[in-house]
Structure 1
Amino acid sequence: MSILRNRNLTVLVALVILLGLLMMTNIQAGAVGISWQEVWASFTGAGDPDLTYIILNYRLPRIVLAMLVGCGLAVSGLVSQSILRNPLAAPDTLGISAGAALGAVSTVLLLPVEMQSAWLTSLAAFVGGGAGALLVYVFSYRNGVDPVRLALVGVAVSACGSTLVQLLITQSSANTNTVLLWLNGSLWGRNWDQVLQLVPIIVLVVPVVWMLGKVMDLFGLGEQSVKGLGLRVEKMRAVLLLLAVLLASGSVAVVGMIGFVGLVSPHIARRLVSGGHRYYVPVAGLVGAIMMLLGDYIGRVLAPPLEFPVGLVTSVIGAPYFLFLLWRQYRTKSRPDKNS
């Protein structure tokens, strides 16, 4: 037991160190190159005022927001996969991201400017994300939730949500450049306002998910076994799914649609550590934050001064992994038929 705990602790420390290195690297990356000495001088109050302003008001909030979003999406994906016992479940495959996008874009394009606010956008994103997840769950449930069917229904619901968003954009007379950038998942132009909007959700919800780690462990035993232990399955599933929707919708509301972070991070976490969800939750959150920082860094240094949205980079990385998981699930399901 102590060996397992020491191994998990080593992984956590290594991920924290990697996250810190990526933070320092991302501070330097951008159209304006900043050396280590200039970064240190800015934090100690002895740096160039212009560079200090860039670091403190543009790059630092961007880094913090990337970590918060990555953590939120990763933990949301972990919860979804645990309660549905489905390795393909994630905010983007459950329709949560597309529903949240539809809700947020509707407030931006349909409401008068004087009625718009960050909190109203977040509320609309939460309602849309919950509606998307509910639709996917209802249409994919047939005496249980089949992984492949859930993935296919999730793709269909997400496609419908994306189509409605595109329809809103084409019918709107407002400037849609920002909305189009937001749909690709971008950290460009984000500041401390978006950080403060997301911090309460992450700080409050992620610890609750961690405390419910033992409950998520029980879901892995199977529904009948869980009921035999006296756990109110549907009630706890609804609570956990609500937390997953809150994390994903809050993240989508501030940076837009980020693909595959919520799908891939939990799988990486389970390979890195063992011992249940009390370990999976923090590791998945760290892996999600690392993926976001790495994706943002690649998007900024790939072809400067052109900047690729971080959502585009994570989708390019995560899409092949999603196809691999889909193929593996199909192969696992069809194998007994071959042996019969």
Structure 2
Amino acid sequence: MYKKLLSFIVVIALLIIVTIYSMITGSIAITAGELLKGLFTGTNEHVEIIKDLRLPRIVIALFAGAALSVSGVLLQAVMRNPLAEPGIIGVSSGAGFMSIIMITFFPTLFFYIPLFSFIGGAVAFLFVYLFAWKSGLDPLRMILIGVAINALFTGLSELIKAQNAGSMMSGISVTSSTLAMKTWGDVQVIVLYGSIGLILSMLVYAWCNHLGLRDKTLKNLGFRVNRARFVISIIAVLLASIATAVAGMFTFVGLLVPHIGRTLVGNDHKLLIPFSAITGALLILTADTLGRTLFSPIEIPASIIMAVIGGPFLIFLLRKSDRIYGN
């Protein structure tokens, strides 16, 4: 228990430190004291610029990281597969594809993008289930089908971008994984829907724990397995879709963070879900801050940094997968 408590304390402390550092570092650099005073008095011109330009992307990075990480935890519980992740199995690309469709062909429905992103993510996840079903669900087959679905929707998205290059600047800004030029309107969307998804995920933590058992055992105990999988999947798709609609495409977040969480706080989802949310927020904010400041004024999208980290980690997980979950 001491290790779990210490893990929470360390991650929360790091999150606070990185958040403050991200706020005071960049093209406009101020001290923490000036930032704090300016936020309360509103008399510092630099702080006002930070509030309008830098603070929204920080909040979005925090919620996107939390949403994608928890989505990964839920999908892994549903599939009983530590390699499941919304970016890898096509949920994020499905959500991104639907966002591009709406922006390109129905720009007047811009404010309904979160809803249609959710539909796109849900359709992608449904395809994974349908095509992977063959006398039952094989975890490895689901991952492979998910990779194919991800490639399909990614290719379709790139095709639409290429065909509508002249009118796609707003679409690219929405579905790309750079957090620059985000507004407080974007913050309101991701905070509202992200908070709903995160709260719902905590309400189903017991179901996630139950799904670690075999289906036959759960049915003998009277547990409604299919209903639990359906509800948890919907919550996971909601979280991944809203993160993609607002923050863009990020892969490996939902893969990397849950594995770290299981190592530090165990498999109990009552602790794993909130720990993953905090750690995911820290990871995306750190990646975005590094991308923004490392080679300033050139900005590296946070998704590139995540891909550099996540690619080798996926290879590591694949090599060690026989030791995961006691298999």
Q: Tell me, what secondary structure is at the counterpart of 2:213? A: coil
> What's the counterpart of residue 186 of structure 1?
178
Q: Does 1:166 align with 2:194?
A: no
Q: Does 1:57 align with 2:52?
A: yes
Cα displacement (A) at 1:78: 0.2
Unaligned 5+ runs, structure 1: none
CA distance in 2, matches of 1:311, 1:18: 21
> What's the counterpart of residue 327 of structure 1?
319
Cα displacement (A) at 1:302: 1.8
Q: Structure 1 residues 215 and 135, CA, compared in 2 at 3 Å: closer, same or farther?
A: same
> What's the counterpart of residue 241 of structure 2?
249
CA distance in 2, matches of 1:22, 1:184: 23
CA deviations 1:165-201 (Å, max 9, x no partner) are: 1111111153334434544411101121111101122
Counting only pairs closer than 5 Å after superposition, residues 176-255 of structure 1 correspond to structure 2 as 176-255=168-247
Q: Does 1:96 align with 2:81?
A: no
> What's the counterpart of residue 136 of structure 1?
128
> What's the counterpart of residue 48 of structure 1?
44
Counting only pairs closer than 5 Å after superposition, residues 288-307 of structure 1 correspond to structure 2 as 288-307=280-299
> What's the counterpart of residue 116 of structure 1?
109
State which of 63, 69, 93 in structure 2 corresponds to 1:68. Answer: 63
More off after superposition, 311-320 vs 168-177: 168-177
TM-score scaled by length of structure 1: 0.90
Cα displacement (A) at 1:275: 5.8
Cα displacement (A) at 1:274: 2.4
> What's the counterpart of residue 33 of structure 1?
29
More off after superposition, 169-178 vs 265-274: 169-178
Q: Structure 1 residues 178 and 324, CA, compared in 2 at 3 Å: closer, same or farther?
A: farther
CA deviations 1:181-238 (Å, max 9, x no partner) are: 5444111011211111011222222122112111111111121111121111111100
More off after superposition, 205-214 vs 84-93: 205-214
CA deviations 1:70-92 (Å, max 9, x no partner) are: 11101100000011100111111
> What's the counterpart of residue 258 of structure 1?
250
Report the aligned-residue RMSD. Answer: 1.9
Q: Tell me, what secondary structure is at the counterpart of 1:37? A: helix
> What's the counterpart of residue 271 of structure 1?
263
CA distance in 2, matches of 1:163, 1:186: 19
CA distance in 2, matches of 1:275, 1:326: 19
Unaligned 5+ runs, structure 2: none
User: Moved runs in structure 1, 4+ residues, more than 6 A?
Assistant: none
Q: Tell me, what secondary structure is at the counterpart of 1:293? A: helix
Q: Does 1:106 align with 2:101?
A: yes
Q: Tell me, what secondary structure is at the counterpart of 2:136? A: coil
CA distance in 2, matches of 1:46, 1:288: 31
Q: Which amino acid aligns with 2:132?
A: S
More off after superposition, 169-178 vs 316-325: 169-178
TM-score scaled by length of structure 2: 0.94
CA distance in 1, matches of 2:146, 2:316: 17
State which of 139, 147, 150 in structure 1 corresponds to 2:142. Answer: 150
